[in-house]
């Protein structure tokens, strides 16, 4: 009996499997083309494109005639290589990738000093006593004080300064002579002489020799050895040696160095006065216009100073004259001042 039920179950199971597999068709020959694998390429609307890409790539669009809806072509079933190549050729190069136009570099303007053959300058020298001190002009020869005027000035003229700058084939020569006048001449009867000699190169003035002399007793000299980069100072028959820094000037030549180099381009200048050698740090103060015997002068004002030290050097450099110092003021430790103000200049240019 048990075997009877088992046989019936097997027959039912066999019939069920036959029914299931009869609905499955295993045919590999029905697909005769690839039309069922066709992927339709739908163009993206222009409004959905990235605006940033528009700035970089500008696509030339060919004007096409307006077609009726009935004649709208179906999108191509395949994208050929020639079609892709045509689209690439129609794409312009981005603006930043355009060929660079020819750049015209303006010629460098000649420095003021390049066209100068000689300069002669005359300054009036004034001495200004510290505040609350009397003027030297208010005293007689024997020290008696003069009667006070309604307005007493602490400033008095004490001398005349002549400076001459000459260029020749061998280089330059700067001559300096200061003479006292009035009562001051009784104290300083001899002239103060300075002299600077050297060459002019791409860096401007390059001194080789400097002299500081007063009378027959005071004579200091500085010798510049640019090959060995050594500076020798002879003072009171004693020699001192220093390492020569690039762009070093003497106390006289640096006044004319501004004709070749803008003073604001280099505010640190190594300078020697044949006594000491150190770097002077100048600061920009202002620009303006000052009155002089030569008329109104546009100037650049620079100064060497230290907030913790009363000593100070101020230079007013004339823009229209190669930044030559038209006014120089030297403030001493006791706040007295020596001021040089130009009142005559003669410039000779190269032919």
Mean pLDDT, rounded, for 129-155? 59
- The CATH classification number of 112-140+154-349 equals 2.50.20
First-to-last alpha carbon distance for the chain, in angstroms, is 142
Tokens 């001194």 -> residue: 207
| Least confident range of 27-41, 95-109, 124-138, 200-214 | 27-41
Residue 253 in this model has a pLDDT that exceeds 50: yes
Relative to beta strand 268-272, strand 249-250 is: parallel
Residue 187 in this model has a pLDDT that exceeds 90: no
Residue 139 DSSP code:
B
Side-chain half-sphere exposure of 40, counting CA atoms within 13 A:
5
d(C-alpha 15, C-alpha 4), whole Å: 17
pLDDT band at 179 (very low <50, low <70, confident <90, very high): very high
Residue 68 in this model has a pLDDT that exceeds 60: no
Tokens 């602490």 -> residue: 154
The whole-number pLDDT of residue 22 equals 59
Residue 88 Cα distances to 60, 82, 84, 121, angstroms: 10, 10, 6, 73
d(C-alpha 154, C-alpha 131), whole Å: 8
113 or 135, which is more confident? Answer: 113
Residue 95 in this model has a pLDDT that exceeds 50: yes
How distant is the alpha carbon of residue 8 from its chain centre? 107
Three-class SS state of 163? strand
In the chain, which ranges are continuous DSSP H helix? 2-21, 51-56, 81-89, 184-187, 254-257
pTM score of the predicted model:
0.66
The whole-number pLDDT of residue 308 equals 82
The domains of the chain are located at: 112-140+154-349
**31 token code pair:** 């697909």
Q: Which residues contact 227 (CB under 8 A, 6 or more apart)?
A: none
Residue 32 DSSP code:
-
């Amino acid at each position: 009996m048990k075997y009877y039920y088992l046989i019936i179950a097997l027959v039912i199971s066999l019939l069920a499997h036959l029914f299931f597999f009869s609905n499955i068709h295993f045919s590999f020959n029905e697909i005769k083309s690839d039309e069922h694998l066709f992927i339709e390429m739908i163009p993206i609307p222009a409004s959905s494109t990235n605006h940033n890409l528009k700035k970089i790539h500008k696509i030339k669009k060919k004007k096409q005639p307006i077609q009726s809806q009935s004649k709208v072509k179906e999108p191509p079933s395949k994208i050929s290589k020639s079609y892709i190549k045509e689209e690439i050729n129609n794409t312009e190069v981005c603006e930043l990738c355009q060929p660079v136009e020819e750049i015209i570099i303006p010629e460098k303007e000649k420095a003021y000093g390049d066209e100068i053959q000689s300069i002669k300058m005359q300054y009036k020298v004034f001495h200004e006593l510290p505040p609350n001190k009397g003027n030297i002009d208010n005293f007689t020869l024997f020290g008696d004080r003069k009667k006070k005027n309604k307005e007493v000035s602490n400033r008095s003229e004490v001398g005349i300064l002549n400076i001459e700058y000459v260029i020749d084939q061998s280089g330059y020569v700067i001559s300096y002579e200061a003479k006292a006048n009035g009562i001051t001449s009784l104290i300083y009867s001899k002239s103060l002489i300075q002299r600077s000699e050297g060459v002019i190169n791409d860096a401007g003035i390059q001194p080789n020799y400097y002299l500081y002399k007063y009378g027959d007793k005071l004579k200091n000299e500085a010798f510049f050895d640019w090959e060995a980069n050594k500076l020798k100072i002879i003072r009171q028959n004693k020699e001192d040696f220093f390492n020569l820094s690039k762009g070093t000037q003497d106390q006289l030549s640096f006044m004319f160095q501004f004709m070749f180099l803008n003073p604001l381009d280099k505010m640190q200048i190594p300078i020697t006065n044949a006594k000491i050698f150190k770097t002077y740090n100048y600061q920009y103060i202002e620009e303006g216009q000052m009155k002089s015997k030569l008329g109104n002068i546009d100037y650049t004002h620079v100064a060497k100073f230290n907030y913790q030290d009363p000593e100070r050097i101020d230079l007013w450099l004339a823009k229209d004259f190669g930044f030559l110092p038209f006014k120089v003021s030297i403030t001493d430790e006791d706040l007295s001042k020596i001021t040089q103000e130009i009142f005559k200049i003669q410039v000779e240019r190269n032919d």
